[in-house]
Structure 1
Amino acid sequence: MSPTTGARAGNRPGPKPRLTREEIVEAAVEVGVDRLTVAAVADRLGVAPGTLYRYVDGLEEIAGAALALLLARTPLPEASAGWRAFLEAEAALAFDLLLRYAALVQDVGADLGAVAGDRLDRIVGTLRDTGGFDTAAAVRIADAVLDIVADGATQTRWVRGPDGGPGDLSEAARAYLESVAEGLRPRLEAIMADPREHVLDKVALVLDGVELRRAAGRPGYGGAG
């Protein structure tokens, strides 16, 4: 066989190619974090899976870094309509992103709080610029919204099951519905049927409270404007 025919870089004689952590993370994003394995990333790079362990500790580190890169690259919503519209749009966008990758987060153990730091910093900056919040208030608001969204994405996967889609109910969710009082069951069924709307309504409740704090002139909340 010719030296240029079909051989992967990792199988060629001579020194193994040098990698960087950044190249490994980029390859993980290219593979797709919803299909991520160490073997898939190694194959993408043309090296043996064991080679990656010279640069990263394992799949959890790769997954966390890939998620961080994806979050950093996803543009924030337009902020021209004001701080509240910005946060509501960010909550919807973040929910869709986190639900897409909920399996990875739960099964691999990637820490969303740790990987979303860059995005949180940009959200806080936008709240300062568009709403006049001070940094402490902006952090509390953004953290509350993102906590609701992250929990909602995790709960949605529990409701639907690992492979379920919209309208599906896992066995655990069905068993839970059977255990609650009949008067409460229709309301919970409605939430399970459209968890995204439920999550965004919870976000709206938090933002209603922020509006009240602004109207009351609470320090750090930018006044009533």
Structure 2
Amino acid sequence: MSSTRIRRAGRKTGPKPRFTREDVINAAVELGIDRFTLGAVAAKLGIATSAMYRLFESRDALVDACLAQAAAEISMIMLDDELPWPELLRNWAETTWNICEKYPGLDITIFQYTQSFSHVQGFTQHAMGILMAQGFARSEALFALDFIGDTVLATHIGMSAMQHSPEGMDIVARTITELSAETLLDNRDRWNPQRGFLDAKVEFIIAGLRQQLGQRATEKT
């Protein structure tokens, strides 16, 4: 990270305060990556908006920096080359969810900024290598990671929206109860008030992939 510092504007006495690139990124993250404005970030830091342009030429540049910081945390995860592929995919789902929780607005922003995926390219290639070593074709490995990632992001967006609407959560809870009674399926056991049906969705995807790999193994024998 750059240690470049520039001085705040507006104070004429005493030590001159400073702010860093990291200060700007963290302020944007706290405000929400999908909704911050440069003016709001500047106000949070107590500086002039124009001062930030020495570090970030535009809002998009600051968004990209926020995405890069989030991706760096994902890339720091140690991938065990011996980890069974179902556990790798579960870990990928859990990591994606947790990073969305830590970085408000990240889920929506990832879909809005296609360049965001470039920040996790190294991690993705490593994970694909582990999957391919366990029988996945290259295209299947990429599909599995992408499918899990998209499922987590979409679920997080939906759950975040519902959690901001108590009425919406009540409607969903009642609907699940009614469907459980009508279909004799205990869907309530799969429902999590914070994560929805995420864990069940991930297991459904893993089951489908396991079946596909098993069919291929059978065809080869």
Q: TM-score range by the shorter chain?
A: 0.5 to 0.7
Find the counterpart in structure 2 of residue 183 from structure 1.
Answer: 178
Change (3 A) 1:109 1:28: farther
Aligned-partner Cα distance in 1 for 2:176–2:196? 23
How many percent of aligned residue pairs carry the same amino acid?
16
Given residue 129 of structure 1, which amino acid in structure 2 is its aligned partner?
Answer: I
The equivalent position to 2:166 in structure 1, one of 166, 170, 176, is 170
Find the counterpart in structure 1 of residue 67 from structure 2.
Answer: 67
Shift of residue 9 of structure 1? 5.6
RMSD: 3.8
Contact 1:8 1:46 in 2 (8 A): no
User: Is 1:211 matched with 2:207?
Assistant: no
Aligned-partner Cα distance in 1 for 2:83–2:110? 36
Q: Residue by residue, what CA displacement relative to the aligned partner does 1:73-104 show, whole Å, maximum 9, x if unpaired? A: 33235423222211101111211211333446
User: Is 1:76 matched with 2:77?
Assistant: yes
Aligned-partner Cα distance in 2 for 1:114–1:192? 33
The equivalent position to 1:142 in structure 2, one of 131, 136, 145, is 145
3-state SS in 1 of match to 2:16:
coil
Aligned-partner Cα distance in 1 for 2:103–2:146? 20
User: Is 1:156 matched with 2:197?
Assistant: no
Shift of residue 46 of structure 1? 7.9
Contact 1:124 1:138 in 2 (8 A): no
User: Is 1:201 matched with 2:208?
Assistant: no
Find the counterpart in structure 1 of residue 128 from structure 2.
Answer: 127
The equivalent position to 2:30 in structure 1, one of 15, 29, 34, is 34
Structure 1: where are the runs of 5+ without partners? Answer: 11-22, 162-168
Contact 1:31 1:41 in 2 (8 A): yes
Change (3 A) 1:28 1:110: farther
Aligned-partner Cα distance in 1 for 2:190–2:176? 15
Aligned residues: 196
Change (3 A) 1:42 1:126: same
Change (3 A) 1:92 1:47: same
Find the counterpart in structure 1 of residue 5 from structure 2.
Answer: none
- Higher mean C-alpha deviation, range 32-41 or range 136-145: 32-41
Contact 2:28 2:41 in 1 (8 A): no
Find the counterpart in structure 2 of residue 86 from structure 1.
Answer: 88
Given residue 16 of structure 2, which amino acid in structure 1 is its aligned partner?
Answer: A
Given residue 34 of structure 1, which amino acid in structure 2 is its aligned partner?
Answer: E
Provide the TM-score with structure 1 as the length reference: 0.66
Shift of residue 32 of structure 1? 6.2
Structure 2: where are the runs of 5+ without partners? Answer: 1-11
Contact 2:162 2:169 in 1 (8 A): yes
Aligned-partner Cα distance in 2 for 1:118–1:73? 11
Aligned-partner Cα distance in 1 for 2:189–2:25? 35
Find the counterpart in structure 2 of residue 17 from structure 1.
Answer: none
